[in-house]
Every structure is written in structure tokens, then in C-alpha cells.
Amino acid sequence: MSSQLLTDMSTWSSSSATSSTQWHQSISVVVPLYRCEACIVELYRRLVASLEPIASSFEIVLVNDGSPQDDWNIARNLATHDSRVKVINLSRNFGQHHAIAAGIDSVDGDWVVVMDGDLQDPPEEIPRMLRKAREGRHDIVFGCKPKRRHHFFKRLTSRLFTRLLGFLTDSELDNSVTHFSIVSRQVAQNLRALREQNRSHAFFVQWLGFDIGYIQVQHDVRFAGDGSYTFAKLVNLALGLAVSFSDKPLRITIVFGFTIALLSLIYGSYVMIRYAFLDVTVTGWTSLTVSIYFLSGLLFVALGVVGLYVGQIFEASKRRPLYVVKETVNLGLASTRPADSSESRVQA
């Protein structure tokens, strides 16, 4: 890291004077990193400027989720020169929500903020979210983004993901709500007890049932680089969460099976009546062949749905950790292990 950057860091750390709105509570900020090398230094600068006036103490937990870029080295250099920055380096890419879990397992603040590392979640919104939580006595506050700064296809796939997940889990989900949020220490402690492999931070937080508040926040364009989420990843995430949180896919299969059986019974009765009373012979093998293939396809779909649930049971029976930590900076092993699950974190 250049001497100019170190000088800038010292300036950032000392220039933000404590204002009269500072609360005597600590704040932890969890940021998963993946292909964010060009954003990290700017993210640090803006977080320090936003947090120093409002918090008596704070920590910035950067979780490198196996990024192929230089995220780890940049974050490590920041932590070397500022003890408030804590860095977790995962052994490989486990996924954004697993990286968030690693960060939440490691924090100890009175309030915990979860945000993206690409600066589409503006750090300057954190004081407003904290004020909303304190004044409204909310345990959770989500930042809502009614106007997203994504291209059309990304907005479309995001909306489809939300609707698909809401339909499969019988939940009313708002597409403007993402995982940009602030939660109390009690909520963070309860989140640590949720060790499912299929994860969504926002979905888990809402499932806990604590008092939730919402506030509209700015959604900025990505500071640098490109996002890594694809439509296929969103579909897989939605299906995984649906299987983990609901039996609706099974119920849909059952209802569909009964519907096909009822229609077959009605049609069979119609054919028999025509043959018995009207002396009309059943003709045509095409309809019979199509019906067999159609029903065979439905059977394979039903088996596939059941297979998804069996697969979930199989994955859960392995009891594998959610993530594997390769190394950390400014963070001890003991403080990062969940109180109720000693096996959810592995130190390589």
C-alpha cells in the first residue's frame, strides 16, 4: 500500500469529529467481499466517516469470500494500519450469504450492519437506519430501495426471484428489500443459531419475527467492476430456500397429481359411457401414447421434487460447517465461534 494511501487513512481516522448525535453503543459492520478490490479503500473511507460521529466504538468486519481478485491483500493492509478493521479470509468461495454468516459469527457490537462491498449500499445511510431503529424501538431496520440502479435484465431477474421465492414459501416479499440492514445484538445472536446450508440473510432475519422497521435508502451504481450474481444463481437460491423453508413444492405435486387423476377418471368414464350406450369404439393410438409420455414426465417431476427434499436431508446429515476460515487479522478464534455450535467454524 502506498505511503499516500497510509497518509489518507490517518487523515480519515482523525478528521471525523464526534458530534452531539453520538450514541454510547458499539456498531459492527459486516461486509462480504467478492471481486471488490477497486471498492475496498473507498468503502473503508466512507464507513469511517459515517460511523465515527454516531458510535462510541465500531468495527468493520471484511469477509473475503474466496475472491479471485486482490480483495484479501487490500483488506489485510487496511486492518494492519487500523485495528478497527477486522478481516476474515475464507478458504474458498462459499457464497455471499455464507460469508455474511461468517461475519455475524465474529462480531460483538450492540448493533450489526450488513451491507454489500461494492458501495451500492451507501455507508452514509447507516446513521439514518440506526436512528430509525432507536426512535422506533425496532430490533431490525431494512433499507428499502424502490429505485434500483441496475440494468433492465438485472432488475427483471431480481423481481422474478422475489416472486418465485414468495410463491414457493407462502411469504409476502418486497422486491425493494435487500440484506442491507441493521439488527440488534439479540437478533444477531439468534441468527447464529440458524445453520442451514441454503441461506438468505434477509429471509432469515424476517423469519425470526422480531420487530421490523423499514426506511427508504439510496441505491447507488456499483463503484467499480461487475456483479457476480446470474439468473441461474438466483433460481437455484430460490429453489434451495423454498425446499428449506416450505413443503409447498410437495403440496403442489400432490394437488397436481390428484387433478390429473380426477381428469383421467372423468375422461375414462366418458369413453366407457360412449362405448356402452352409443356403441362408439375408442380409436387412435396417438392420444394414448401422448398421455403415457405426459404422465411419465409428471412422475419424473414428482420424483425430482422429492429428491430435492431427500438431498436436503442428506446435506444436513453431513453436518459440514457453513464456511472454513483460512486466516484472520485483528480477530481471535475464540471470538468468532458461535456459542451454540463449535463445529460451524473450522480454522485451517
Q: What is the DSSP string of 73-98?
A: HHHHHHHHH-TTEEEEEESS---HHH
Residue 337 pLDDT > 50: no
Cα–Cα distance measured from residue 321 to residue 135, given in angstroms and rounded to the nearest whole number: 38
* 339 — pLDDT class (breaks 50, 70, 90): very low
Considering the chain, what is the average pLDDT of its residues? 80
Cα–Cα distance measured from residue 116 to residue 100, given in angstroms and rounded to the nearest whole number: 10
Phi-psi region for residue 327, left (φ > 0), alpha (ψ -120 to 50) or beta? beta
The residue type of 140 is: I
* 281 — pLDDT class (breaks 50, 70, 90): low
CB-CB contact of 70 with 40 (8 Å) = no
Give the pLDDT of residue 246.
78
* 310 — pLDDT class (breaks 50, 70, 90): confident
Question: Cβ–Cβ contacts within 10 Å for residue 99, how many?
Answer: 29
Cα 204 to Cα 6, 152, 198, 200, 299, distances in angstroms: 38, 27, 10, 6, 33
Cα–Cα distance measured from residue 5 to residue 11, given in angstroms and rounded to the nearest whole number: 10
- The pLDDT > 70 percentage for the chain reads 78
Cα–Cα distance measured from residue 57 to residue 110, given in angstroms and rounded to the nearest whole number: 10
Count of helix runs (H) and strand runs (E) in the chain: 12, 9
More confident residue, 259 or 87: 87
Give the pLDDT of residue 123.
94
N-terminal to C-terminal alpha carbon distance within the chain: 27
Give the pLDDT of residue 19.
42
Residue 227 pLDDT > 50: yes
Give the pLDDT of residue 3.
45
Q: Which of 6-15, 29-38, 309-318 is most confident?
A: 29-38
Please give the grid coordinates belonging to residue 92: 474458498
Give the pLDDT of residue 282.
64
Residue 328 pLDDT > 70: yes
* 348 — pLDDT class (breaks 50, 70, 90): very low
Give the pLDDT of residue 218.
84
CB-CB contact of 347 with 321 (8 Å) = no
Give the pLDDT of residue 151.
58
Q: CA gyration radius for the chain?
A: 26
Cα 94 to Cα 33, 172, 197, 241, 321, distances in angstroms: 11, 28, 10, 16, 11
Residue 147 pLDDT > 80: no
Give the pLDDT of residue 149.
56
* 116 — pLDDT class (breaks 50, 70, 90): very high
